[in-house]
């Protein structure tokens, strides 16, 4: 039977590419985002755009209910909505930090809660959480972003074993540097928050690193292909990571290096 997918954050970047890619491969796709005006072009691919603010309870409930009423269930949930809050932990207002977690963590998990009853009833479901290499490795000035992705990874691990008996798979996808609006937004926030504080020097060096990384990024389609690979695998991996050498090398070094040496490696990239 044709499966129904909800892709959040579908107005740009990874979410948009994933929604289009799944629609092109026979899935019934709903794209959710706050900026519905940015999703009108998705209609030409047969995708239904829905207004979705993952931090608003009424919005997430209405979104899921609309799909269930039309299709019977959400078979595949791709939790992609998110953003990167950059800046020194000392500098960032706590209300901003809370919002980071509301979007990247609580929004994703609330959607999972809402789609799970039908998935359990159908004995089928795929929940794909778009994390990051930054869900395993934390760089300075990205503490709250990394905290959100570390949390998403941990919740995915717990959820995976909770729902496995019901025929539901929980899959984590860990992109490295990817072409999207994320980088520009994160850089703007970083400069605004810590560009003129005690962390100005570190901010300048981090901004320069972001600029270098932006010259060698993966296209969003690469992540969309990983999502499709995961949801169509008979026995999916718990995690899928991009094939970028730098990302794989960092993750490998994280597993084998003592913390102090890993810290030295990270800081050496900012010189």
pLDDT digits (tens, 9 = 90+) for 108-117: 999 999 999 9
State the catalytic residue, choosing from 118, 126, 131, 132.
Answer: 131
Mean pLDDT in residue range 234-239: 97
Catalytic residue flag (residue 73): no
Give the pLDDT score at 187: 83
- pLDDT-derived band at 182, boundaries 50, 70, 90: low
Catalytic residue flag (residue 180): no
pLDDT digits (tens, 9 = 90+) for 135-170: 999 999 999 999 999 999 999 999 999 999 999 999
CATH code assigned at 37: 3.40.50.720
- pLDDT-derived band at 124, boundaries 50, 70, 90: very high
The total number of structural domains that make up the chain: 1
State the catalytic residue, choosing from 27, 145, 199, 240.
Answer: 145
Catalytic residue flag (residue 131): yes
What are the φ/ψ torsions at residue 83 (nearest 5 degrees)?
-150, 170
Alpha-carbon distance of 245 to 118, in angstroms, equals 39
Q: Cβ(129)–Cβ(152) under 8 Å?
A: yes
**pTM of the predicted structure, to 2 decimals:** 0.94
Catalytic residue flag (residue 271): no
The contacts of residue 59 (CB under 8 Å, 6+ apart) are 51, 52, 53
Domain with 201, as residue range(s), is: 4-268
State the catalytic residue, choosing from 11, 73, 132, 148.
Answer: 11
């Amino acid at each position: 039977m044709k499966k129904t997918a909800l892709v959040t954050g579908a107005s740009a970047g990874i979410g948009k590419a994933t929604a289009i890619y799944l629609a092109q491969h026979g899935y019934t796709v709903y794209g959710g985002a706050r900026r519905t005006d940015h999703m009108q072009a998705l209609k030409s691919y047969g995708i239904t755009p829905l207004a979705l603010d993952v931090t608003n309870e009424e919005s997430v409930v209405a979104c899921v209910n609309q799909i269930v009423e039309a299709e019977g269930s959400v078979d595949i949930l791709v939790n992609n909505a998110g953003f990167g809050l950059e800046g020194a932990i000392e500098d960032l207002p706590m209300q901003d930090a809370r919002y980071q977690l509301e979007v990247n963590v609580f929004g994703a998990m609330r959607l999972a809660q809402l789609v799970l009853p039908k998935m359990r009833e159908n004995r089928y479901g795929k929940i794909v959480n778009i994390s990051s290499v930054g869900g395993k490795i934390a760089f300075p000035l990205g503490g709250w972003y990394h905290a959100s992705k570390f949390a998403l990874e941990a919740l995915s691990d717990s959820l995976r074993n909770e729902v496995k008996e019901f025929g539901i798979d929980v899959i984590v996808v860990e992109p490295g540097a990817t072409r999207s609006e994320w980088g520009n937004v994160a850089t703007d926030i970083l400069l605004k928050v810590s560009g003129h504080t005690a962390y100005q020097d570190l901010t300048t060096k981090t901004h320069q690193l972001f600029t270098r990384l932006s010259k060698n990024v993966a296209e969003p389609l690469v992540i969309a292909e990983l999502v499709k690979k995961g949801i169509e695998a008979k026995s999916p991996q718990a995690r899928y990571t991009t094939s970028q050498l730098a990302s794989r090398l960092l993750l490998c070094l994280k597993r084998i290096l003592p913390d102090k040496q890993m810290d030295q490696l990270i800081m050496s990239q900012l010189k």
